[in-house]
Amino acid sequence: MEVKTESGPQTLIPQRERVTFLVRLSESFGPVVGLLTAFAVINGYMVLNVIPQDVSGRATTVGCRYRDGQWWFYYVHTGAPIRPANELTATAHQIRNHIEGAAR
């Protein structure tokens, strides 16, 4: 049995949007004392590590993916959604609370 492959138009998700949202989220942490951010690549996708200065081993890795017609931030290690990517302030606040809760 021969399997045929179709070569038609495909929907591509531009990486620049993912990168833009992650950079803007990183900028949201600029005024926050005690948290640093660093970019990394996991499986070919850019992610943002949010790292508390005073607590080792408590970094949170955040990704950005397209789902349900919009970009969402999510926790990379669990896959749990955080918030839509256009809610930068609320996302930064939720991540900070997540890190502070894990440090207790």
The model's confidence at residue 12, banded by pLDDT at 50, 70 and 90, is low
Q: 88: buried, middle or exposed (CB in 10 Å: 19+, 13-18, 0-12)? A: middle
Structural domains in the chain (count): 1
d(CA 74, CA 81): 4
pLDDT given at position 93: 94
In a domain, 76, yes or no: yes
In a domain, 10, yes or no: no
The model's confidence at residue 54, banded by pLDDT at 50, 70 and 90, is confident
Check whether 5 has a pLDDT greater than 60: no
In a domain, 32, yes or no: yes
d(CA 66, CA 19): 12
In a domain, 2, yes or no: no
d(CA 99, CA 32): 13
Structural domain harbouring 23: 15-103
The model's confidence at residue 6, banded by pLDDT at 50, 70 and 90, is low
The model's confidence at residue 78, banded by pLDDT at 50, 70 and 90, is very high
In a domain, 4, yes or no: no
In a domain, 5, yes or no: no
